Amino acid sequence: MRQLVSILFLLSCGQAAEPLEIRLWPKGAPGRMLPHSKATEDFIRTKAGKSTVTDIHDPSITVYRPEKPNGTSVVVAPGGGYVFLSAIHEGGQVCEWFQGLGVTGVLLKYRTPTRDEAAPHEKPAADAGRAIELVRQHSKEWGLDPKRVGLLGFSAGGNLLAHLACDRPATRALPDFGIMIYGGGFMDHADPTKFRQGFSVPADAPPMFLACAHDDGQNPAAAARLYLEYKRNNLPAELHLFTQGGHGFGMRNNKQPINAWPQRCAEWMSAMGWMPKAE
């Protein structure tokens, strides 16, 4: 049985608290999950690894609170094709990195699998919106600024971020800023230089940091197109396209140029005013 939020954080005086898991929907997540199709089973069998998590029907967040929180928090959405979550190198390790910066990292375990649904991002986006709501509800308790809640997404998590920030699905909570790492999937299949029908960047889209490797299929084109739309709307954004790095590296150091993305991201957050010194 999961412990109540307030209990563990009362023990956090003078030191970082142990990561705390909180259910997003204690009375059950809305909507119905589809059973696995053969395509989903094949994807899990061929793509998932020992460190991935699948079959998430009861989504949650795990809060990584620093010893001295600086007020900023980032919800971290791992990738995995909406079928599983790469919850370590695109999840827990990222939250621990944020901890070291004084930022509260919040690992999002959103619902899977949704690969067989017409709009696979809808349930994960709803979970992300609910996670942002919970962080803001507990902002005073956790020493956070409710106006400095970001959302970082890798791969499918980046697709989730794009839809949440731009499409505005049925959620009241939007991030104050976004960090998209090798995200995509919102471009037209017939013409990858254009957005999918129905996808657009609103005039009040949150500031965005984008990073991708040049050798990552169509994802660098998606990142560049999204950046150009931000620029056209005079919205804050920063884009980094690295020569090499491929896909799915997360926080791994594979000795390629893309491994510099965390430093560039921290610099951007600092320049935007989201990395003040902790009191």
Give the pLDDT band of residue 12 (cuts 50, 70, 90).
very low
**Two tokens, residue 44:** 């899990």
The reported pLDDT for the residue numbered 192 is: 86
State the average pLDDT over residues 156-169: 90
- Taken in order 170, 119, 196, 251, the sign of the CA dihedral is positive
The reported pLDDT for the residue numbered 9 is: 36
State the average pLDDT over residues 199-225: 96
Tell me the backbone φ, ψ of residue 129, rounded to 5 degrees: -60, -40
The reported pLDDT for the residue numbered 34 is: 86
The reported pLDDT for the residue numbered 18 is: 87
The reported pLDDT for the residue numbered 50 is: 79
The reported pLDDT for the residue numbered 273 is: 96
Residue 14 has pLDDT above 50, yes or no: no
Residue 78 has pLDDT above 90, yes or no: yes
- Quote the CA–CA distance of 142 and 139 in Å, as a whole number: 5
The reported pLDDT for the residue numbered 15 is: 56
State the average pLDDT over residues 171-180: 90
The reported pLDDT for the residue numbered 279 is: 54
- Quote the CA–CA distance of 269 and 112 in Å, as a whole number: 30
The reported pLDDT for the residue numbered 206 is: 96
State the average pLDDT over residues 228-238: 97
- Name the percent of the chain lying above pLDDT 70: 92
Q: Which long-range contacts (CB under 8 A, 24 or more apart) does 43-48 make?
A: 43/81, 43/83, 43/113, 43/115, 44/83, 44/84, 44/113, 47/80, 47/81, 47/83, 47/84, 48/80, 48/83, 48/84
State the average pLDDT over residues 3-16: 41
Name all domains of the chain by residue range, CATH numbers in brackets.
Answer: 54-271 (3.40.50.1820)
Residue 92 has pLDDT above 60, yes or no: yes
State the average pLDDT over residues 9-31: 75
150 and 136 Cβ atoms separated by less than 8 Å = no
The reported pLDDT for the residue numbered 11 is: 37
Nearest to 178 by CA among 126, 230, 228, 216: 230
State the average pLDDT over residues 149-154: 98
Range from 9-23, 158-172, 213-227, 263-277 carrying the lowest mean pLDDT: 9-23
HSE, CB side, 13 Å, CA atoms: give it for residue 237. Answer: 23
State the average pLDDT over residues 10-34: 78
State the average pLDDT over residues 12-35: 82
Q: Which residues contact 138 (CB under 8 A, 6 or more apart)?
A: 5, 144
The reported pLDDT for the residue numbered 8 is: 35
pLDDT digit string (tens) for 186-196?
Answer: 999 899 889 99
Residue 242 has pLDDT above 80, yes or no: yes
The reported pLDDT for the residue numbered 169 is: 65
- Quote the CA–CA distance of 94 and 249 in Å, as a whole number: 12
State the average pLDDT over residues 30-35: 88
Q: Which residues contact 189 (CB under 8 A, 6 or more apart)?
A: 196
